[in-house]
Structure 1
């Protein structure tokens, strides 16, 4: 598994983000994409020991295309120079939440949690669950190893929304519209594929209780039982 090949291709695409360069380097793209799929397959096998449902999915269907939708963007660059995958028992859909890996020059990261804040029903479910399971939530986000690696993030309202106690111990999190964590991955980490995979799997173990809490909160989500 040559992760350096992935990074070298993406660096070239980032510096030459146009259709001509992309077409001229299609062979390099295919080689890099093949290496990324090997990485995805390896991570799925490792994560499958914790979450067997991940193994039910076809690796390629969990990845994202490089082509950007530029219709509503001022940035008309045709490609996103990043290889991305969402590893979850639900596949690529946002719920159940899983592990999101993005490899891109200078900004790679591993994330977990609920990134999308456009689903009002799921946002309400999460707030309700935090409100009634505040101690459990605090135990996760303030836990030693978790807190050493992460700070729970998310887009947020200015005030606690109506219907929730403004004095709740977790009032700050009740303002959130999304709840997620990110772990930055330096480019140099990809030099040793074996160590990179081991590192990712260890970080996922730390993220898992956070994800599990969110998935319990969203147990009644319409996304949960979708094929």
Structure 2
């Protein structure tokens, strides 16, 4: 089993996105799903060795359902066009997410549109020491991998309680604090893909630690 087989399955599923087809190919689905879970288990062990603050998360705990939630999104197809997984899972921590799909593949981490309490905590940390976050974001190795924060809606003015001329107003106006690194399907099918994921995780660590400290301190 390999990622090439996983992509083949997703392409066929996308062409036959219905329960009847899935029922006929249930064994194949479990085969590629088990492959991805085992790959995640290996990655989980390796990440735990390089990050003392890492929360162990098995592949079964990490992997998301392939079914779309049609109750809330009735216009979506029955099944997703990707496998997704969240590792380093712990309540209150920023996300670390892997997305392997036929239309896009990427790693992402941080807080995407967090709840008000979490967002307020991040803004308070920036108000207190935004220079630390800016130093992380401006580091060349960080920019080479992530470029900048994930683009999302921003406030048109300053958040309540902060002056418009705040020295970190460009950060304070953000509603999300997340980064993303894309991968091609070719990269994912290469033998060193897992090591590339680990390298991206390492570079993301200071960013996620800053945010995690902001929402827990």
With structure 1 as the length reference, what TM-score do the two structures score? 0.88
Q: Which residue of 2 aligns with 1:139?
A: 135
Gaps of 5+ in 2: none
What is the number of residues matched between the two proteins? 215
Of residues 179, 184, 187, the one that matches 2:185 is 187
The residue matched to 1:103 in structure 2 has which SS?
strand
In structure 2, the partner of 1:111 is 108
Q: Which stretch shows the higher mean deviation, 164-173 or 106-115?
A: 164-173
Task: Determine if contact 1:44/1:54 at 8 Å carries over to the other structure.
Answer: no
SS in 2 for 1:69: coil
Matched residue, 2:160: 162
SS across alignment from 2:50: coil
1:207 matched to 2:204? The reply is yes
4+ residue runs of structure 1 moved beyond 6 angstroms? none
Relative to the length of structure 2, the TM-score reads 0.92
CA contact (8 A) 1:7 1:104 kept: yes
CA distance in 1, matches of 2:195, 2:2: 15
Deviates more, 1:27-36 or 1:45-54: 45-54
- Name whichever of 135-144 and 160-169 sits farther off: 160-169
Question: Displacement of 1:42 after TM fit?
Answer: 1.5
Q: How far apart are the structure 1 equivalents of 2:11 and 2:54?
A: 30
Give structure 1 stretches of 5+ with no counterpart.
Answer: 221-227
* TM-fit CA distance, 1:76: 3.4
Which residue in the other structure is 1:44 paired with?
44
1:149 corresponds to which residue?
A: 145
**Conserved 8 A contact 1:47-1:54:** yes
Residues of 2 paired with 1:58 and 1:127: CA distance?
A: 32
Contact 2:48 2:56 in 1 (8 A): no
